[in-house]
Structure 1
Amino acid sequence: MQRVQEVAGRVMASVERVIVGKRAEIRYLLAALLANRHVLIEDVPGVGKTTMVRALARSIDCTFRRIQFTPDLLPSDITGLSVYDPATRQFTFRPGPIHSQVVLADEINRTSPKTQSALLEAMEEGQVTVDGQTYPLPRPFFVLATQNPIEYEGTFPLPESQLDRFGLRIRLGYPRPAEERAILDLHHAGRPVDALQPVTTAEEILELQQLITQVHVDDSVKDYLVRIVQATRAHSAVYLGASPRASLSLYRLSQALAAMDGRDYVLPDDVKELAPLVLAHRLVLQPEARWHDTDPEAVVRDVLEHVPAPVERRAERWAGSLLRRR
């Protein structure tokens, strides 16, 4: 997986020329791209969510469109619509902004659930259907949605079916004082994101997406992953646990993270590191749990503490198991 590690390093270095102090978040963003999973970025306005997405799109030489979600946005404003042409007396399809490789759904929870649902087919199947006609979307297809905290005025909570389409959720947070000073220096002469040049191509990203599927996952690691997801469904504070789609996302993202570290096998630590990011946003808590200020992240942490990880193998043994299979 040296090629994956090398390309990932170039892309991360490119994005870090614009985004200061968020190496871990950039790493997870890139892992989601390689795993062909979408990302929800939740945080307050002004912390660099849009800039990070734009920097990623420029670094991988993909087409980029930004959709500003507002209360009056319609589904056709996203997917496109059929327009009557008087000259030909026929309807022609006019694609919407979703027909791009990297799509930024900015402030997705400021629009109605009806408009939010316009993304469901695109995110799951890579296509949109308008007036009974299906149109494939370009590949790679990567949706990154930003969301303000639900407590903010004028927001609509995302439905569970929409949240489940996001492979993981990350938060950026405010920068530290030294980082904020570096941001001022970085933006002194303008927008540094405009100066970024591609360090890879869309075609290479597609190749890497196929390559990470070859990363080996030992049976004991698969069992560990399944036990974690199953435990979210049985937890006393949870009304609706993580879905099988969550298991698949955690599986594929673990493969991507391992490949980015130069390994062709997944460790239990990969699963454990990603579990809070992949599972927490999918959990619906019991009303009494919310009354006691229990949050989904705390539930996932509790699950990880009580579900034992495989300990009978060292890292060398994980790789050895892979070699024996070959």
Structure 2
Amino acid sequence: MRAHPHGGQVALTSDVAPDAGNRLEDLVDTAHRIRRSIESVIEGKADAVRLTLTVLLAEGHLLIEDVPGVGKTMLAKALARSIDCPVRRVQFTPDLLPSDITGVSAYNQQTREFEFKPGPVFANIVVGDEINRASPKTQSALLECMEEHQVTVDGVTYELESPFMVIATQNPIEMEGTYPLPEAQRDRFTAKIAMGYPEPTAELEMLDVHGASQPLGKLEPVATTAEVRALIQAVRAVYVSQAVKRYAVDMVTATRRSPDLRLGASPRATLQLLRGARAHAALAGRDYVIPDDLQELAVPVLAHRLLPSLEAQGQRRQPEQVVADLVRRVPVPDTN
């Protein structure tokens, strides 16, 4: 038994290792190193950096949407360079083919056999730049690898190594040359964030730092692939009470019943919300999830999966506003 943070006691479940405390300390230390490395090139975006790390440790994928020039690709590259692991970048264009992402079987004249040539998806971190400039057919090439961590080409299935994370950037769909992401594709992204314009002080600092050199080229790895795998294992062991699990289900169910939405969140969204909450708690140094973790992640994890009703569109109510209102209305469980 151990003391619960809100009073009483809870039994340690079998998935919580005895050295969970030490692993959490290591997690916080390693995550701090990665965060400092990213923030050395991304000024004034602490919340975006923290959410990026949360998605990484939750074994998820991140969608970054905003106008050009605000640092979307820079954030993705900074995370990739901060971890000593294979990283591949894909520039999505209208003429990109699915095989350009997954790989292709090519005939070898010497051996007279077909050989599989792996595509850029065979890496620990895949940076997809301007994903919504490719056709929906090409975008769908990522569906299997994002959900099942595997790729099937010509009837043969190839496993992807862990950790595996897709960080995709996209421009707002109102801009020229963009295709909207299909619902199935959006649902596979754990969270979506918008970078936003920097504060004047942060932009001024950026001019001093980036004006004379390219700081991204100076980034050195501060964590190994093995360390990231260990951190993911530590996150899996974070305790979640039944009351908090029901709270997550209540949040997602509220999106399915809201008159402002014609498409609510899927069961996959519930699972990813809980995984994200575990990572969020671990980054805060806790081995248990509290309702606050779910509340902070509700908008970035749920909003991009939802479709507003015609009435909500007429009132210009965005899914982010609807989710925020639902979070305020869903009763918070008593964890005492």
Return the offset for 1:138.
Answer: 2.4
Please tell me whether the aligned partners of residues 132 and 178 of structure 2 are also in contact (alpha carbons under 8 angstroms).
yes
Q: Output the TM-score relative to the length of structure 2.
A: 0.91
Matched to 2:212, the amino acid is A
After TM superposition, the structure 1 = structure 2 runs for residues 53-132 of structure 1, keeping only pairs within 5 Å, are 53-132=76-155
Matched to 1:263, the amino acid is R
Partner residue of 1:273 out of 296, 307, 311: 296
Please tell me whether the aligned partners of residues 38 and 75 of structure 2 are also in contact (alpha carbons under 8 angstroms).
yes
After TM superposition, the structure 1 = structure 2 runs for residues 6-25 of structure 1, keeping only pairs within 5 Å, are 6-25=29-48
After TM superposition, the structure 1 = structure 2 runs for residues 157-176 of structure 1, keeping only pairs within 5 Å, are 157-176=180-199
Partners of 2:206 and 2:335 in 1: CA distance: 46
Is 1:296 aligned to residue 316 of structure 2?
A: no
After TM superposition, the structure 1 = structure 2 runs for residues 169-248 of structure 1, keeping only pairs within 5 Å, are 169-248=192-271
Partners of 1:225 and 1:99 in 2: CA distance: 33
Matched to 2:76, the amino acid is V
Q: Which residue of 1 aligns with 2:16?
A: none
Matched to 1:181, the amino acid is L
Matched to 2:120, the amino acid is P
Please tell me whether the aligned partners of residues 247 and 332 of structure 2 are also in contact (alpha carbons under 8 angstroms).
yes
Q: Give the SS at the match of 2:26.
A: helix
* Count of residue pairs brought into register by the alignment: 313
Return the offset for 1:190.
Answer: 1.8
Partners of 1:101 and 1:312 in 2: CA distance: 38
Partners of 2:184 and 2:225 in 1: CA distance: 28
Partner residue of 1:133 out of 156, 179, 189: 156
Q: Which residue of 1 aligns with 2:175?
A: 152
Please tell me whether the aligned partners of residues 87 and 123 of structure 2 are also in contact (alpha carbons under 8 angstroms).
yes
Q: Give the SS at the match of 2:127.
A: strand
Partners of 1:66 and 1:45 in 2: CA distance: 17
Partners of 1:140 and 1:189 in 2: CA distance: 35
Return the offset for 1:223.
Answer: 1.2
Q: Give the SS at the match of 2:84.
A: coil
Q: Output the TM-score relative to the length of structure 1.
A: 0.94
Q: CA RMSD in A?
A: 1.0
After TM superposition, the structure 1 = structure 2 runs for residues 249-288 of structure 1, keeping only pairs within 5 Å, are 249-288=272-311
Partners of 1:266 and 1:242 in 2: CA distance: 21
Q: Structure 1: which 5+ runs fail to align?
A: 314-326
Partners of 2:70 and 2:270 in 1: CA distance: 30
Q: Give the SS at the match of 1:166.
A: coil
Q: Structure 2: which 5+ runs fail to align?
A: 1-23
Q: Give the SS at the match of 2:190.
A: strand
Cα shift readout 1:292-315 (whole Å, capped 9, x = no counterpart):
2121011101111210112453xx
Please tell me whether the aligned partners of residues 35 and 49 of structure 2 are also in contact (alpha carbons under 8 angstroms).
yes
Q: Give the SS at the match of 1:104.
A: strand
Partners of 1:264 and 1:225 in 2: CA distance: 18
